[in-house]
Copies of this chain bind each other. A is one copy, B any other.
């Protein structure tokens, strides 16, 4: 016979929990002194306690354990419970995997953004751009609706995205209302999906300027880079591109003053 303290040390179950199990008739001490109310446990209770610990590790609730203990004494007989439990655990696993995936995406994104913040110098720069595989949604209307395009790509091809979102502008000029543009995401893999076109975006010689600040100030940066290109007598190839290096976050909208957008003009 063990007192509750000894029994607690033996089984690793806290005294509080033991009293709770007693109250719920899950694990009844083999003897209770009626005068003092002291609980006493024996060897067989130890065995029962181990079973309970086992089942709790599997995530069964106390009431489920009560049912199981009340009716069955063999693993074989609780197969249904075990299978149900496994399914529930698998569902939890799937949900958690989604969570880590999202968290990882955000973390990676922001870490890249952080690196970017350090090295940028905000001057027009000439460089060569590699071709890349992109998924795009061609749209017509207001620029600010491009978010819908991105979210559609995210939903369909979220798993394959491998770079920063960008937007292609097919109009030679700024259009307020009826703009013709395409929301794009670099992807790893060519996947056929309706509503989203996957194709290779050409590379080439390019002038780029990093714009910092909110989108409604983009005009100034365009002015700067266009002047730069025009001075050199270069011919711009449409569509022009904007790469959203850092925009509204996945959680917060963030501070627009910290947004970073790269304007890319491909030239012949």
Contacts and interface: CB of A to CB of B under 8 A. Distances in A.
B92 A107 contact: no
Interface residues of A, number: 44
A99 B92 CA distance: 11
A83 interface: yes
Contacts of A83: 107
A267 B85 CA distance: 45
A154 interface: no
Interface string A230-268: 000000000000000000011111110010000000000
Interface string A44-86: 0001000100110111000000000000111110110011011
A73 B104 contact: no
Given A58-B103, A86-B104, A252 B74 contact: yes
Interface of A: 47, 51, 54-55, 57-59, 72-76, 78-79, 82-83, 85-86, 89-90, 92-93, 96-97, 99-100, 102-104, 106-107, 109-111, 113-114, 249-255, 258
